[in-house]
């Protein structure tokens, strides 16, 4: 049986450990709260941008903006249609830089592999852009060619980092070098529900535009200064950057 002095030493050790773990819990709770606040702040902004684009969208304007260019249907067996040409899609995969988070990274990598297989089955070339050490390590061992990679996007991503990632891809899409840009990220629904998801950020599909083909009818008293074309020229790249930023903050919160 342990002596009283030994028992007191053990009790003191347990109390010290409890203080340390309590402090760690408070720090983790604070970090999660800040991450959730960033997610909550990003969603209404993205929704507002989508609403404005939907208000301004018309098929006539869409023809003037490469970021709104939708893929044209092709069928090599149908007369009068152009034969199918090779397509190229950029896939951005966002993973963590660290492990010890259960199946978080594994689920994201599995979703990326599923999307890659789906695209390549249709004859599409996939350019892989990796964010985070875990995704980089996996595809390095898988001997998969990677178009770009970076590990500087941590727990507090910024809009500037999102712009750095997607701006070159927007230029490639506008020039016709890319046909689409997809993002694989972790959708933050709650602290216990963070399913992986794939979001197509390019081409932009204006909300409600596809439903009637003409977009949403603009209010009669809508006064646009400058023109709708000038506004869309600024909003469309901003909308794409914001979509990638939202994927960053949701994955960080997850």
Under a CB-based contact definition with an 8 Å cutoff, are residues 201 and 67 in contact?
no
Distance of CA 238 to the CA centre of its chain: 14
The total number of structural domains in the chain stands at: 1
Contact in structure between 184 and 244 (CB atoms under 8 Å): no
Domain with 193 in it: what CATH number? 3.40.1380.10
Does the global pTM surpass 0.85? no
Residue carrying structure tokens 């999102």: 162
Inform me whether the pLDDT recorded for 97 exceeds 80: no
Angle between helices 133-141 and 104-121 (to 10 degrees): 50
Among 3-7, 43-47, 107-111, 215-219, the range of highest mean pLDDT: 107-111
Does some domain include residue 101? Answer: yes
Q: Give 191 or 58, the one with higher predicted confidence.
A: 58
Given pLDDT bands bounded at 50, 70 and 90, which one contains residue 75? very low
Cα distance between residue 111 and residue 119, in whole Å: 12
CA distance 188 to 197: 10
- Cα–Cα distance, 76 to 79 (Å, whole number): 8
3-state DSSP assignment of residue 219: coil
114: enclosing H helix or E strand:
helix 104-121
User: Distance between CA atoms of 17 and 134, rounded to whole angstroms?
Assistant: 31
Q: Using one digit for the tens of pLDDT, what is the confidence trace for 185-222?
A: 887 666 556 788 888 888 887 655 444 445 555 544 56
Q: Is 195 inside a domain boundary?
A: yes
pLDDT level of residue 91 (50, 70, 90 thresholds): very high
Inside any domain, residue 243: yes
What average pLDDT score do residues 172-179 get? 88
As a whole-number percent, the residues of the chain with pLDDT over 90 amount to 5
Q: Show Cβ contacts of residue 35 under 8 Å, excluding neighbours closer than 6 positions.
A: 155, 249, 252, 253
Residue 58 has pLDDT above 50, yes or no: yes
The reply to whether 20 falls in a domain is no
Confirm whether 14 is domain-assigned: no
Question: Has residue 22 been placed in a domain?
Answer: no
Closest CA to 226 of 23, 77, 56: 56
Task: Tell me which of 172 and 195 has the higher pLDDT.
Answer: 172
Nearest Cα neighbor of 173 from 249, 75, 116, 240 is 240
Q: Which of 244, 246, 206, 198 is nearest to 228 (CA)?
A: 206
The arithmetic mean of pLDDT across residues 163-170, rounded, is: 90
pLDDT of residue 233: 81
Residue 178 belongs to domain spanning: 43-68+86-253
Please report which confidence band the pLDDT of residue 169 belongs to, taking 50, 70 and 90 as the band edges. Answer: very high
| Residue 209 within any structural domain of the chain | yes
> Is there a domain that residue 219 lies in?
yes
Kindly report, residue by residue over 132-158, the tens digit of the pLDDT. Answer: 888 888 888 888 888 888 888 777 888
Segment holding 115, helix H or strand E: helix 104-121
pLDDT at res. 35: 61
* Bridge partners of residue 185, in order along the sequence: 197
Return the pLDDT at 232.
81
């Amino acid at each position: 049986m342990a002596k009283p002095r030994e028992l007191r030493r053990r009790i003191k050790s347990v109390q010290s450990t409890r203080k340390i773990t309590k402090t760690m819990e408070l720090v983790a709770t604070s970090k999660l709260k800040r991450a959730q606040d960033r997610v909550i702040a990003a969603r209404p902004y993205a929704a507002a941008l989508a609403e404005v684009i939907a208000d301004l969208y018309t098929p006539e304007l869409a023809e003037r903006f490469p970021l709104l260019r939708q893929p044209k249907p092709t069928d090599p067996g149908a007369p009068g249609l152009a034969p199918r040409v090779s397509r190229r899609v950029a896939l951005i995969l966002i993973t963590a830089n660290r492990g010890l988070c259960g199946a978080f990274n594994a689920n994201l990598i599995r979703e990326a592999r599923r999307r890659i297989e789906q695209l390549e089955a249709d004859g599409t070339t996939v350019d892989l852009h990796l964010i985070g050490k875990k995704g980089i390590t996996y595809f390095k061992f898988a001997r998969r060619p990677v178009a770009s990679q970076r590990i500087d996007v941590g727990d507090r991503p910024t809009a500037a980092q999102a712009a750095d990632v997607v701006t070159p891809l927007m230029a490639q899409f506008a020039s016709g070098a890319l046909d689409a840009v997809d993002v694989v990220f972790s959708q933050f629904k709650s602290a216990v529900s963070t399913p992986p998801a794939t979001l197509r950020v390019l081409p932009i599909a204006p909300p409600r535009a596809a439903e009637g083909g003409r977009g949403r009818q603009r209010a009669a008293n809508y006064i646009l200064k400058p023109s709708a074309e000038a506004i869309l020229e600024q909003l469309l790249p901003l909308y794409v950057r914001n979509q990638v930023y939202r994927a960053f903050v949701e994955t960080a919160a997850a």
